[in-house]
A = this chain, B = another copy of it.
Amino acid sequence: MGRLRLLAAMLITCLCYWAGVSTQAQRADPLPSWNDGAAKQAILDFVGRVTQEGGADFVPADQRIATFDNDGTLWVEQPIYIQFAFAIDRVRVLSNQHPEWKELQPFKAAIDGDLGTLAASSEKGLLQIIAATHAGMTTDEFSQIVTDWIATARHPRFNRLYTEMVYQPMLELIAYLQANEFKTFIVSGGGVEFMRPWTDRVYGIPPEQVVGSSGVTKFEMKPDGEPVLIKEPKVEFIDDGPGKPVGINRFIGRRPIFAFGNSDGDQQMLEWTAAGSGARFMGIVHHTDAACEWAYDRTSHVGRLDKALDEANARGWTVVDMKNDWRAIFPPVAQPQGAGGAPLSERADCKK
């Protein structure tokens, strides 16, 4: 073969290979941890419809707002909300400076790890713990405390970092929406300043796209001329239940076309999303896999899913059955270092 023909042949081979890879990429499953079924199909159909230019359901990219609850929707919320585990750990750390807490409820229960007493504690008691652990420092200091804690704290059942207790199928869903020019937001009952230090790294959702509950902060000028924001022991906004549409309106100022939750605390967000005009997607993560995660709904103390489940069924919203719709629950992670490291999971091969 002459040099030129060889070159031409090589070029053609390259181009064909390139085209093949490209076709393969287009065909790759964007949701590999989702089993084929109604839930996965509903997501793929919806995204296909709203992104098809000229189609009846096309939505311009800047209006593709997607909102996700966090606790129980993007990461675990059992046996207690992770932010509450953080607060308990903080009570223990701070108890060195508060010896009186060892005999004072609800602090005593937190120090003793007595979740029953804590759960039975009045709302006032829980607010006391939040006030003691989430106030009295600057916003920068609190952000650092969260960053340090979340880098090392592990879930008691799975011995994983809490940032590894996120749902792999939901990570894929967020990435899939982003690849289709959706703007993804968290809209959570959890504290906004507890989430922002890590949501970008873990979910790919930046701080300015995180909506949550908040305490009052106050601007102060320190004697050395440094301005700070002090976190005060006072609730400002509860971004839960009817507070979620309020938070969406206040922080985002647009109505989502896509929303995902998992509990009755998300019902109004889903209703608010459904009430807009044009194509809409409302999804609920239903916890049905006791072996690999937890199974709970109508009678659960944490993450109760009752009225929202009835409404979802009545209105044809997408209810994700974790046991049947998800092929994997958590992302793969390395075994913890050290000889004494407990196994990562009770069932490391869960669903594999």
Contacts and interface: CB of A to CB of B under 8 A. Distances in A.
B252 A217 contact: no
Contacts of A252: 207-208
Contacts of A65: 208
Interface in A249-267: 249-254
A22 B79 CA distance: 60
Contact of A249 (B62, B229, B246): B229
Contact of A271 (B62, B218, B227): B227
A249 B208 CA distance: 9
A32 interface: no
A221 B268 CA distance: 9
A219 B196 contact: no
Contacts of A189: none
Given A227-B245, A227-B271, A245-B229, A250 B214 contact: yes
Contacts of A235: none
Interface size class of A (residues with CB under 8 A): 35 or more
Contacts of A62: 200, 206
A275 interface: yes
Given A207-B252, A210-B253, A219 B242 contact: yes
B217 A250 contact: yes
A192 B221 CA distance: 27
A251 B207 CA distance: 9
A280 interface: no
Contacts of A209: 208
A226 interface: yes
A230 B139 CA distance: 32
Nearest to A139: B249
Contact of A253 (B192, B250, B271): B192
A218 B246 contact: yes
A139 B206 CA distance: 27
Contacts of A49: none
A268 B294 CA distance: 48
Given A210-B253, A252-B207, A246 B275 contact: no
Contacts of A254: 206-208
B253 A196 contact: yes
A183 interface: yes
Interface string A269-286: 001100100000000000
A193 B227 CA distance: 29
Contact of A208 (B217, B218, B251, B271): B251
A253 B210 CA distance: 8
Contacts of A250: 192, 214, 217
Given A62-B206, A226-B275, A272-B227, A249 B183 contact: no
Interface in A80-125: none
Interface string A192-228: 1100100010000011111000100111010000110
30 contacts: A62-B206, A65-B208, A139-B249, A192-B250, A192-B253, A193-B253, A206-B254, A207-B252, A207-B253, A207-B254, A208-B209, A208-B251, A208-B252, A208-B253, A210-B253, A214-B250, A217-B246, A217-B250, A218-B242, A219-B245, A219-B246, A221-B271, A226-B275, A227-B245, A227-B268, A227-B272, A227-B275, A229-B246, A229-B249, A251-B251
